[in-house]
Amino acid sequence: MGVGLAALTKLAGSKTLDRAGLRAPVQNLVSSATKNGFRAAGAASRSFKSARRGGQATRPAAPSDKGLFDLTPNEEQQMIAETVAEFAAEQLRPAAAEADAKLAPPDGLLTRAAELGVTQIGIPEELGGASTERSVVTSALIAEALAHGDLGLAVAVLAPSAVSNALVLWGDAQQQADYLPAFTGENVPVAALALQEAKPLFDPFKPAARARRTPSGYQLDGVKSLVPRAAQAELFIVSATLEGRGPALFLVESSTAGLTVEAEPAMGLRGAATGKLHLEGVKLPAESLLGGGSPDVFTDAVRLSRLGWAALATGTAKAVLDYVIPYVNERTAFGEPISHRQAVAFSVADIAIELEGMRLVTLRAAARAEQGKPYAREVALARKLATDKGMRIGSAGVQLLGGHGFTKEHPVERWYRDLRAIGIAEGVVLL
Amino acid sequence: MINLEPPKKAGALINQAYQAASQVLRPISRKYDRAEHAYPSELDMFAAVLDGLNSSGEGGAGAAGVRRDDKSEGQGNRNGGNLSTVLGTIEMCWGDVALLLSMPRQGLGNAAIASVANEEQLARFGKLWAAMAITEPDCGSDSAAITTTAVEDGDSYILNGEKIFVTSGQRADAVVVWATLDKSKGRAAIKSFVVEKGTPGFEVVRLEHKLGIRASDTAVLRFENCRVPKENLLGSPEVDTKKGFAGVMQTFDNTRPLVAAMAIGVARAALEETARILSEAGVKVDYDQPANLQHAAAAAYLELEADYEAAYLLTLESAWMADNRKPNSLQASMAKAKAGRSVVDITLKCVELAGAFGYTEESLLEKWARDSKILDIFEGTQQIQQLIVARRVLGKTSSELK
């Protein structure tokens, strides 16, 4: 409760809330967010069912490889990245502090993101989306641009895409027909890919959540952790160990009996309104198994999620760099800008060097994934760099601002908290 | 289209360089580490092969230099000589970095000539093996402070001064010497001169005994009233204080990616050998399992490999930018900084992971850990690279950020 109360105290003094006439709705949100330990039923989900459909699922084609080293985004990618960067600067960055404090993204943010078409990018035209071929690189550029605005809100915005991308990649014709139309419309459902569990030394390939076979399908039991917007999500993809088979992914609608959610505020990613997902005797139809329970599908899901987190880390690390440069140039000590001291300047140089390195490694992994080449190694290395260097950059960001960096007057303390999620997080995003 | 794989068309060159590295360099690697100052005669025949590679126009496998050829202005994305040279250098230094540095006609002086010489000079000096002489006993990173003088006298310049740390200073046919035309005019007056071996007044004083790259000769040179023809000055003889240091410093934008590539090659050698040793000991690196659930040695390895990968791609980026005629000073320094510090960390940690075996002369790991240190020093130390990156990123001049 302490955390929530502190947030409440800060909010209570906020004049902007009164001006915007937002005080009452915000108070409601805060009260639900602070009810830590209070478990509620999942959000009422819309009806996702479509008519029976046979035939083949639709998969995006791999782009053709020109065989040349190239770091120039194509025109479309350039345009998308710029548009999303603008969106992040206008919609995410200004809303980030408040979202962090009240543990929820601002009203309407996800609708505006849907209007922008963030979710549609990964869905092929044949399925009502906007893509003509598999484009992991474009998705990485989007994640990077969003996370430059705010990591927590970027996660909130991208969470539905993780589910729609998984359906595009591994859903059968029926699953695609049932669920994807909702993701290409204007009212994109809140959805979440829940792989994480709150267990020390957690191995995503060995979820403690269990799936038992029943005569009509499966029964799921377990608890998933750090699920973005768990309370609002209408659709989950949940990992569980399928008895006798190993880890598998299941489509779970939020109104299914036995599913409850609980607020789970964390060190960071608070704008993503993270929650616990409790599954107690949740009965699922046989059609809820995604990708036929294939181990390869599961491995891909873990890798493509980690890739997403690496891309997010590059965006937030860039935000740190862009923030500290003017600060150290303007802040004076001993009669000159502190950037004239090597101790300060070299710290900034190291941020720039490590950021560029981790960005290139992430892009290489994305390009290989997109072209259908082996990418396990590259993802692992991108994740390692995003974890280690990302956190070091987050820490340097606070350090360079000194005591000021420790206060909420500057965003660096939030980036510090957010960047600690990299390397812990599994699932949630999927490129 | 964003793609970070080495170009397909470089496959043959990479393979050739790899074959040469594994069949020519590796087998004599330890021999010339022990026999410091002995000339590796095995390299003579090999150098002829490299000459062929370099003259093919697709770049070679050594310090072929980087030339911004106006004729090669093309449309769209280019993967050219810079990228090929970097890729070839990586393979060769996987074999042995000291031997690559000893390769006839592949000296850094050759890179300087190839990068800044005019057409007439290129024709005259292109076939020579040229070393590079910048550092002096009292000036290292601060190359603007050099005291070797060049005084105009009729059709010649007269050079006086002492140079240290000259790679292949004894073996090379010529040396590119940095000297000042007028100490009072600062950086702008620093010019480079090609001094051919046998020129009266040019003397090799001694050879250094070193921590690593022992197969590569490092000489101390002295110039005493050494008369050099005027046409041997590289670039413009004008002392243009506005243009300043640009002429000579331009070389570094081109040679730094090469030194970064050398570091990549050594790092890869150490990583591959360590992976083999760990595997024999029953430790395999798993790219999917969380690092914290793996053997501590495997987790350490992953961290090293991640740094390697970042350095590798930064190096390719800086070469690719040169190929595409984008200014790459910042990226070249980033690559050099990252590759230099990573290769030291990687090779030292690999010795530790391999234990006593890695520390003995039975393994090349200890040699690579000695060789690597120079790669974080020459062509601009780690700290100089950080300074360059910091100035660029922060928008500071060298008088503001010292």
Fold classification of B246-394 is Butyryl-CoA Dehydrogenase, subunit A; domain 3 (1.20.140)
Q: Report d(CA A272, CA A164) in Å as an integer.
A: 18
Q: Report d(CA B197, CA B220) in Å as an integer.
A: 14
pLDDT in tens, B314-331: 999 999 999 999 999 999
Of A66, A162, A151, A74, give the one whose Cα is nearest residue A122. A162
Q: Report d(CA B84, CA B87) in Å as an integer.
A: 5
Chain A residues near residue B307 by CB distance under 8 angstroms:
357, 385
Task: Supply the DSSP string of A110-158, one letter for each residue.
Answer: HHHHHHHTTTGGGSBGGGTSSBSS--HHHHHHHHHHHHHH-HHHHHHHH
Fold classification of B8-125 is Butyryl-Coa Dehydrogenase, subunit A; domain 1 (1.10.540)
Chain B residues near residue A382 by CB distance under 8 angstroms:
306
Q: How many CB atoms lie within 10 A of CB A28?
A: 10
Considering only residues 198 to 227 of chain A, which have any Cβ-Cβ distance to chain B shorter than 8 Å? 201-205
Confidence band of B54 (pLDDT split at 50, 70, 90): low
Q: Report d(CA A223, CA B184) in Å as an integer.
A: 75
Task: Supply the DSSP string of B15-57, one letter for each residue.
Answer: HHHHHHIIIIIHHHHHHHHHSTT---TTHHHHHHHHHHHHHTS
Residues A85 and A174 in one domain: yes
Residues A279 and A300 in one domain: no
CA-based nearest distance B373→chain A, Å? 19
Q: How many CB atoms lie within 10 A of CB B47?
A: 16
Tell me if chain A has a CB within 8 Å of the CB of B292: yes
Chain B residues near residue A357 by CB distance under 8 angstroms:
307, 310-311, 313-314, 334, 338
At residue A157, the pLDDT reads 96
Residues A97 and A162 in one domain: yes
Chain A residues near residue B6 by CB distance under 8 angstroms:
69
Please check the confidence at residue A361 and state whether its pLDDT lies above 80: yes
**Containing structural domain, residue A342:** 295-419
Of B7, B293, B400, the CB nearest to A203: B293
Residues A414 and A309 in one domain: yes
Residue scoring higher pLDDT (B189 or A11): B189
User: Are the beta carbons of B4 and A354 separated by less than 8 Å?
Assistant: no
Q: Report whether A122 contacts A59 (CB < 8 A).
A: no
Q: Report whether B200 contacts B158 (CB < 8 A).
A: no
Of A415, A424, A430, give the one whose Cα is nearest residue A153. A415
Of B192, B202, B248, give the one whose Cα is nearest residue B227. B202
Tell me if chain A has a CB within 8 Å of the CB of B402: yes
Of A148, A130, A112, A142, give the one whose Cα is nearest residue A60. A130
Q: What is the 3-state secondary structure (H, E, C) of B273-306?
A: HHHHHHHHCCCCCCCCCCHHHCCHHHHHHHHHHH
Per-residue pLDDT, averaged over B15-41, amounts to 94
CA-based nearest distance B135→chain A, Å? 23
Residues A176 and A80 in one domain: yes
Pick one of 3.40.50.300, 3.40.50.1000, 2.40.110.10, 3.40.50.280 as the CATH number of B130-234: 2.40.110.10
> Which chain B residue is nearest to residue A425, measuring alpha carbons?
B290
Confidence band of B56 (pLDDT split at 50, 70, 90): low
Please check the confidence at residue B372 and state whether its pLDDT lies above 50: yes
Residue A333 lies in a domain: yes
Show the tokens assigned to B110.
């050759």
Confidence band of A114 (pLDDT split at 50, 70, 90): confident
Alpha-carbon dihedral angle through residues A280, A285, A290, A296, given to the nearest 10 degrees: 80
Opening angle at CA A344, ends A339 and A350, nearest 5: 115
Residues A320 and A264 in one domain: no
At residue A27, the pLDDT reads 46
Tell me if chain A has a CB within 8 Å of the CB of B33: no
Residues A183 and A215 in one domain: no
User: Are the beta carbons of B5 and A364 separated by less than 8 Å?
Assistant: yes
> What's the structural domain count of chain A?
3
User: Are the beta carbons of B337 and A349 separated by less than 8 Å?
Assistant: yes
Residue A118 lies in a domain: yes
Tell me if chain B has a CB within 8 Å of the CB of A195: no
Q: Report d(CA B306, CA A423) in Å as an integer.
A: 14
Domain limits, chain B: 8-125, 130-234, 246-394
Task: Write the CATH number for A375.
Answer: 1.20.140.10
Residues A325 and A385 in one domain: yes
User: Are the beta carbons of B309 and A378 separated by less than 8 Å?
Assistant: yes
Tell me if chain B has a CB within 8 Å of the CB of A72: yes
pLDDT in tens, A63-94: 988 899 999 999 999 999 999 999 999 999 99
Chain B interface, mutation test: which of A64, A68, A354, most B Cβ atoms within 10 Å?
A68
Residues A340 and A394 in one domain: yes
Q: Report d(CA B151, CA B158) in Å as an integer.
A: 5
Of A342, A356, A382, the CB nearest to B334: A356
Confidence band of A253 (pLDDT split at 50, 70, 90): very high
Domain boundary among A250, A270, A293: A293
| Beta bridge pairs of residue B353 | none
Residues A217 and A237 in one domain: yes
Residue A5 lies in a domain: no
- Considering the entire predicted model, what is its pTM? 0.92
Of B302, B313, B390, the CB nearest to A380: B302
At residue A323, the pLDDT reads 98
Residue A6 lies in a domain: no
Of A67, A72, A381, the CB nearest to B309: A381
Per-residue pLDDT, averaged over A243-257, amounts to 96
Q: Name, in order, each residue with C-beta under 8 angstroms of B260's C-beta and a sequence gap of 6 or more.
A: B86, B311, B314, B315, B318, B332, B335, B336, B338, B339, B340
Confidence band of B40 (pLDDT split at 50, 70, 90): very high
Residue A220 lies in a domain: yes
Query: How big is chain A, counted in residues?
Result: 431
- Measured between alpha carbons, how far apart are the two ends of chain B, in Å? 40
Amino acid identity at A77: Q
Of A345, A348, A307, give the one whose Cα is nearest residue A140. A307
Contacts of the segment B358-365: beta carbons below 8 A, 24+ positions apart: B358/B274, B358/B277, B361/B30, B363/B273, B364/B29, B364/B30, B364/B269, B364/B273, B365/B270, B365/B273, B365/B274
Chain A residues near residue B390 by CB distance under 8 angstroms:
339, 342, 345-346, 348-349
Residue A158 lies in a domain: yes
Q: Report whether A77 contacts A141 (CB < 8 A).
A: yes
The pairing of beta strand A246-253 with beta strand B174-180: unpaired
Confidence band of B155 (pLDDT split at 50, 70, 90): very high
CA distances in angstroms from B318 to A274, B101, B335, listed in the order given? 41, 21, 7
Please check the confidence at residue A55 and state whether its pLDDT lies above 90: no
Chain B residues near residue A376 by CB distance under 8 angstroms:
287-288
Size of the A and B interface in Cβ pairs below 8 Å:
169
Alpha-carbon dihedral angle through residues A68, A69, A72, A76, given to the nearest 10 degrees: 50
Across all residues in chain B, what is the average pLDDT?
A: 90
Residues A84 and A182 in one domain: yes
> Which chain B residue is nearest to residue A350, measuring alpha carbons?
B386
Q: Report d(CA A169, CA A301) in Å as an integer.
A: 9
Please check the confidence at residue A59 and state whether its pLDDT lies above 80: yes
Residue A388 lies in a domain: yes
Active site residues of B: 379
To the nearest whole percent, how much of chain A has pLDDT over 90? Answer: 80
Residues A385 and A398 in one domain: yes
CA-based nearest distance B387→chain A, Å? 7
Opening angle at CA A249, ends A53 and A362, nearest 5: 110
Across all residues in chain A, what is the average pLDDT?
A: 91
Tell me if chain A has a CB within 8 Å of the CB of B75: no
User: Are the beta carbons of A350 and B303 separated by less than 8 Å?
Assistant: no
Of A201, A303, A346, the CB nearest to B386: A346
> Would you report the helix, strand and coil content of chain A in percent, each value rounded to 5?
55, 15, 30
Task: Write the CATH number for A165.
Answer: 1.10.540.10
Residue A341 lies in a domain: yes
To the nearest whole percent, how much of chain A has pLDDT over 70? Answer: 91
Residue scoring higher pLDDT (B394 or B138): B394
